Chains A and B, each alone.
Chain A
C-alpha cells in the first residue's frame, strides 16, 4: 500500500521491541466480540490510475457550470480564480500544517490570518474580524447567538429577504439554544421595513445586503432604530465582491457583519468547503466566536503573531465557551486572502464594477423578453426575474439544452407558491456575450 512505509521486517522488529506477538494483541482492551477478524465488506485497495478513472467517471456524470452558460448564484458565485491562488494554497507548508498552536513554527499561517482579518475589516467597514467560520450561514447563526450574549436578550428579528438557508440554520440554533425568532415575509425586489418588529426584548436584527432577491437597501435607519432599542444590527453579505462597489455594512451602522467568503478565491465545489466571514465592532471582541490572531513580539523584540483571546474558546472555557467551534476554514481563508491581495484596491473595485455592468446589461436584455420582468430597482450582480410560468420547470428545460439559467426561488422557498415564477439570475466577469445570447434565445424559446 503506497501510503504505508512500514515493511514486514519493520513490523516484526517493532513488535519484538514492544514485546507482543502481533498487532492484534495490541487490541486486547477491545472486547473479543467487537474485534473484526477480517476486512469489512468493501472493495480492496486500488492504484492511483484506477482511483482516478473511477472518480473521473463520476465527475463526467455532472454538468460542470464552467462548461456551459451559467447564471447561478443564490449564495454561491463563480468568479475567475487566478492560477497563482490555487498554486500557492497547495504548497505543502500551508496545505499540510495544523492550526497554529505553536507560533514559532507557524508564523506563515498566523501572518496571513492577520492580513486576512485586516482585509475583512477593510471591505466590511468593521473594526475587528476573526480568522473565519465554516460558511456564511453558520457565521450568521453564531452572530445571532453573540448578539444574545451581548444584549442578554433572546429574541432575534430576521429579514424575510435573508437567504433561506441562513434563516434555517438560525432556526435550528434557536430551537436548541433556546431563543426566539421573528421573521419577516419575503418581499422580492422591494424595500422591507423591519423597524416595527423591534421591541424591548430584541437582541438583534438580521438583514442581508444585497438581499436574497438581489435588492440593495440602505440600512442606516434600521441601524439607528436598533441602537435606540439596545439591539445589534447584523448584516450578512453573501456576495463579498459587492463590497468593491457598494457602501460597506459598517458605514451603514452594522454592529456585526457576517458573510460568505467563497466568491473570492474559492471554487463552487458543489457547496463546500467555503468560509464564513465574521467582523464586529471592537467593543464586542471578547464575545466573538472563533479564532483570533493578534500581533505581539518575541523574546528578541521581533514582531510576530499568535492566536489570542483564547479564553473565549472551547479548549479553555469548555461549557462556558462563546462557541464550540474548533477547526474553521483555514485553507479557504488563504485562497480568499491571496485572491484579494492579487486584486488589491484597483482590481477589487474594477472586478465589482465589471460584475455590476454585466448584470445591468443582462437585466436589460432579459427584461425585454415577452412575459419576463425584472423585479429589482437596484441590484449588484444578481436580480430576480419574474417569468410567466414556474421557474423550476423553465430551468429544467434549459438545463436539457445545457444552459444553467439561474436558481428558481421555489428551490429555496418551496412553501411559497406566490414565488414560484421567480428566477434568481446572476452574472459575473465570467459571463460572456455568447452566454447572454444563449440564455436570451433559450428563454424566448422555452417561454414561447
Chain B
C-alpha cells in the first residue's frame, strides 16, 4: 500500500475538515443577522443608566452564522456518529421524538409563573414522570427540581442533613467509597459534612471490614453508587443499608448507573433513603455537549417530609404546585422555578415509548452488550475484576505493561480509528482504568467493529508500535493540545489584537 503524503493546502482546510475563525474575527459592527423594526419614539426611563460605550459584539449575517456553527459542529464527535463508550456517562441514542415533544406549543411557550389554572397539563406531565420514577425505583416520593446529577446529590444530602437537624443530631461524618464519582465528596463537603473514605476490596466492591470499622453513631450516612463505578453490583448493598440504618444513618444511592437495573431491580427494595436519577443518562435526554441535565431524587418515607420546594400535589381543583412551605419541614428551594421541565417531557416520551417491557429489555441489552465486550476483549485487554459486569466493562492497564503506551495514548489511538475513547483513569481504585459503557443502543455489528479495533490496537502496542500511539490522534481537526500551557497562562476569552501602531513599538 502506498501512503501518499498530503501537501499543505492554501486555505489550511483539508477536504471536509474546514478551519473556522472565531466570530470576533469575522464580524462587522454594522452587520446583523436579524431584521428588527425601527425603535418607536419614546421617553427614556433608564434613570440615567444608559450604556455609554459600545459593547464590542461582532455582527454577522444569517448565512455566516449558519455556516459558522455548522462548521463547528463538524469538529465534534457525537452519538449520532458512532459508538461513544464513555463509562458512567451513558451515551445512548437520543430519540428525536423527544425533541419534537419538548417543542410543542403549550409546552415550550409556557411561562413558569402563569396561573396554575393555565398549566394543568404541565403539572400532569411532572406528576406522570414522578409516578414512573417512583414505580421504577420502588420509592414513595420524588423531588423533581434538581437540575443535574450533582444537583440531585446536593438535594439528597441536604435532605439527610435536614432530617438529622430535625432529630436534633449533630452527626457530621459521611462515608464515601473511594471508587465514588468526585461529585459525591464535593457534595458532602458542600453540605457541611466530613468525608470519610472507604476502600474497595479486591472484588471491586465496598470493603465490608473497613465499612464495619468506620460505622458508628456519629455517621450521618453513606453515599454509595450502585451499580458501582467499577461496573459491578454492590452485592452487599442491603446489608450495608441495614447496618447504616441500625446506627441511625441514612443511605444515599448515587443513581448514575441506574440504567443497568431499571425495570429489573428497585433500589427501594435494598434499603435506599434517597437516590438521584440522571434523566440525561438512564432516560436519554441529550447530553448537549455538557448539559442541561436533570436529576430528580427519589426519597424514602423518612426523608420525604424534607423534600425541596416546589412540588406538585393533587388538589381540589386538579393539580397544584406547592411553592411555599407553611409550617412544613421542607429544606427549602434548590433552583429558580420548578425544575427541568423540558427534560421531563423528553424523559416521559422515552419512558412511554419503551414501556415497562421495553425498559426492562433496554437494561438487559445494556448489560448484555457490556458483558459481550468484556468477554470478547478479555484475551487482549486486562479485565480489572472477575465478571459478570453490569452495564460497563472495566479494564486496567496491565495489558499495556512494558509497552511504553499509556491508557491515554491508547485512547488517543482509538480516536484515529473513529471512536470516542472510553472513560480513562476512573475509577481511581484501578490502575490506568479504561471504563467502557456501550449502552443498549449499539448493534452487534457496531460492537464487533469496536472489538476488532481495540484488539488491533492492543496487538500493535504489544508489538512495539509505540509511534502509532504517541503521535495519535493524527486524523482529527486538532492533534494533542497543550493543556499544561492552557492552565499556566489562562486565555479564557478573545481580546482584540493591539492596534498596529502599538504593536510596532
The interface on chain B, measured as residues whose beta carbon lies within 8 A of the other chain's beta carbons, has a size of 202
In the complex, what distance in Å separates the CA atom of A243 from the CA atom of B67? Answer: 27
A264 to chain B, nearest CB (A): 12
Tell me the minimal C-beta distance from B129 to chain A in angstroms. 11
9-residue interface stretch from B243-251, B455-463, B483-491 = B483-491
Name which of A65, A171, A172, A332 has the most chain B CB atoms within 10 A of its CB: A172
Across the interface, do A75 and B150 meet the contact criterion of CB distance under 8 Å?
Answer: no
Complex Cα gap A102–B422 (Å): 10
CB atoms of A318 and B186 under 8 A apart: yes
| Residues in B134-160 with C-beta less than 8 Å from chain A | 135-136, 147-151, 153-154, 158
Taking the closest CB of chain B, its distance from the CB of A181, in whole angstroms, is: 12
Partner of A92, one of B41, B80, B186, B491: B80
User: Are B482 and A42 in contact, with the CB atoms below 8 A?
Assistant: no
Report B225-278 residues with CB < 8 Å from chain A CB. Answer: 232-233, 235, 238, 261, 263-266, 269-270
Residue among B54, B111, B426, B476 with max Cβ neighbours from chain A (10 Å):
B111
Listed stretches A151-159, A308-316, A435-443; interface member: A308-316
Which residue of B42, B97, B186 has the most chain A CB atoms within 10 A of its CB atom? Answer: B186
Q: Which residue of A lies closest to B124 (CB)?
A: A58
Q: Does B358 contact A (CB under 8 A)?
A: yes
Alpha-carbon distance A347/B367, docked complex (angstroms): 51
Complex contact B91–A98 (CB within 8 A): yes
User: In the bound complex, what is the Cα–Cα distance between A295 and B493 (angstroms)?
Assistant: 8
User: What chain A residues lie within 8 Å of B269 (beta carbons)?
Assistant: 33-34
**A134 & B81 in contact (Cβ 8 Å cutoff):** no
Is there a chain B Cβ closer than 8 Å to A287's Cβ? no
Cβ–Cβ contact B354 & A344, under 8 A: no
| Segment of B31-39, B207-215, B296-304, B398-406 in the binding face | B31-39
Query: Across the interface, do B60 and A341 meet the contact criterion of CB distance under 8 Å?
Result: yes
| Chain A residues closer than 8 Å to B360, beta-carbon distance | 36, 39-40
A294 near B444: Cβ-Cβ < 8 Å = no
CB of A226 within 8 A of chain B?
no
Q: Do A15 and B368 touch (CB < 8 A)?
A: yes
The segment out of A199-207, A227-235, A351-359 that lies at the interface is A351-359
Of residues 167 through 215 on chain A, the ones whose CB sits less than 8 Å from some CB of chain B are 168-169, 171-173, 175-178, 215
What are the residues of chain B within 8 A of A40 when measuring CB–CB?
135-136, 263, 266, 356, 360
Q: Is A169 a contact of B334 with CB atoms below 8 Å? A: yes
Q: How far is the CB of B109 from chain A (nearest CB, A)?
A: 4
Residues A84 and B62 in contact in the complex (CB < 8 Å), given A61-B120, A65-B111, A350-B36: yes
A368 within 8 A of B: no
Q: Are B47 and A268 in contact (CB under 8 A)?
A: no
Q: Is the CB of B364 within 8 A of A344?
A: no
The reply to whether A294 and B34 form a contact with Cβ atoms under 8 Å apart is no
Are A26 and B371 neighbours in the complex by a CB distance under 8 Å? yes
With A3-B353, A112-B72 as given contacts, are A248 and B51 in contact (CB-CB < 8 Å)?
yes
Interface residues of B in 272-308 (CB under 8 A from A): 280, 286-294, 308
- Give 1 or 0 for each of B93-126: 1 = CB within 8 Å of chain A CB: 1110101111111111111111101111110110
Contacts of B84 in A (CB 8 A): 98
> Looking at the complex, which one of A46, A324, A327, A361 makes contact with B40 (CB distance below 8 Å)?
A361
* Among B65, B100, B362, contact of A3 (Cβ-Cβ < 8 Å): B362
Q: Out of A33, A173, A343, name the residue touching B33 (CB < 8 Å).
A: A343
Residues on the B chain within 8 Å of A388, using CB: none
Q: What sequence of 0s and 1s flags, for each residue 92-103 of chain A, a beta carbon within 8 Å of any chain B beta carbon?
A: 111111111111
User: What are 14 inter-chain pairs, A to B, with CB distance below 8 A?
Assistant: A14-B368, A14-B369, A20-B371, A43-B352, A44-B355, A45-B357, A58-B125, A102-B420, A138-B335, A169-B336, A178-B192, A216-B47, A304-B478, A347-B33
